[in-house]
Amino acid sequence: MKDILENKHTMYKAVVSLLDGNTAKLSPIPALAPAITSFKDLVTAIKDKDTLANTAGEGLTQTKTADEAALISDAVTIASALSALGSATNDDRLKALSHVTKSSLKSLRDTQLAIDVKNIKTLAESKLGQITAYGITPPMIAALDTKITKFESSTGTSQVGAAVSTTAFKQLDTLFDQADAILKEQIDKTMEIFRTTDPQFYGEYKSSREIKDLGHRFKKPETPVNPS
């Protein structure tokens, strides 16, 4: 949640706290009850939606990153062996794999990475009779194929998580608009009755309605110790 919205949400909670602590004073004004209930529901919904927006893709992204790292590591191992074989047999197609490094694969888009690694796997399978001399075994190639599938799956899942997060952030704006409407058009207007009947309570309400800029909390720098 952006700082400006976080500050507004803090104000919402202050209003809810004040109203909850003064139910006896509010009971003679029954029109306030449904408005307050709706407002409180929106304040809770905002917090829940913000949590969803910030956590929807968190674990999924970590899984995708781990799967990508495992895939790239195995792909580089096999590509290096193929490159060495190409150098020994003067096979230009295999020698071209010398450019395959962890950084070069890491820089690729997800779809291109999967394509390039599949090509490495196909080449390894076609040279199986020779590449075993370089330490590359059939189980290693099979494991690479499994990691390709796992990476593609986690990539798709991660994209779903990102979509959920993006949608949740957009819905936050709608929830804030709805909360503002109830607060300004119903609760604020009805609370005017207390301006003259209970000035103290009305003043407390107006104070709770102020949006305070909480800003960021930074650790106070320690006072340097005099060497002497």
Q: Is 109 left (phi over 0), alpha (psi -120 to 50) or beta?
A: beta
Q: pLDDT at position 214, please?
A: 66
Q: How confident is the model at residue 71 (pLDDT cuts 50, 70, 90)?
A: very high
Q: pLDDT at position 26, please?
A: 96
3-state secondary structure the chain: CCHHHHHHHHHHHHHHHHHHCCHHHHCCCCCHHHHHHHHHHHHHHHHHHHHHHHHCCHHHHHHHHHHHHHHHHHHHHHHHHHHHHHHHHCCHHHHHHHHCCHHHHHCCCHHHHHHHHHHHHHHHHHCHHHHHHHCCCHHHHHHHHHHHHHHHHHHHHHHHHHHHHHHHHHHHHHHHHHHHHHHHHHHHHHHCCHHHHCHHHHHHHHHHCCCCCCCCCCCCCCCCCCCC
Instruction: Inform me whether the pLDDT recorded for 55 exceeds 60.
Output: yes
Query: What is the C-alpha to C-alpha distance for residues 86 and 123, in angstroms, rounded to an integer?
Result: 11
Query: What is the C-alpha to C-alpha distance for residues 216 and 179, in angstroms, rounded to an integer?
Result: 24
Phi, psi (degrees; rounded to nearest 5) at 7: -65, -40
Q: How confident is the model at residue 205 (pLDDT cuts 50, 70, 90)?
A: very high
pLDDT tens by residue, 122-150: 999 999 999 999 999 999 999 999 999 88
User: Hey, how many other C-beta atoms are within 10 angstroms of the C-beta on 150?
Assistant: 17
Mean pLDDT, rounded, for 190-207: 96
Q: Which residues touch 190 (CB under 8 Å, ≥6 apart)? A: 29, 31, 32, 35
Alpha-carbon distances, residue 162 vs 40, 56, 70, 169, 220 (angstroms):
28, 7, 22, 11, 35
Q: Global pTM?
A: 0.56
| pLDDT > 70 in the chain, percent | 87
Mean pLDDT, rounded, for 205-217: 82
Q: pLDDT at position 92, please?
A: 93
Tokens of 31: 């029109």
The radius of gyration of the chain from alpha carbons, rounded to an integer in Å, stands at 31
Q: pLDDT at position 218, please?
A: 44
For residues 57 and 164, the answer to whether their CB atoms sit within 8 Å is yes
Domain definitions of the chain by residue range:
3-57+162-208, 59-158
Query: What is the C-alpha to C-alpha distance for residues 75 and 212, in angstroms, rounded to an integer?
Result: 54
| pLDDT > 90 in the chain, percent | 67
Instruction: Inform me whether the pLDDT recorded for 17 exceeds 90.
Output: yes
Mean predicted lDDT score pLDDT of the chain: 87
pLDDT tens by residue, 26-45: 999 999 999 999 999 999 99
Q: Vertex 92, ends 88 and 95: CA angle to 5°?
A: 60
pLDDT tens by residue, 159-192: 656 666 777 788 899 999 999 999 999 999 999 9
User: Hey, how many other C-beta atoms are within 10 angstroms of the C-beta on 79?
Assistant: 26
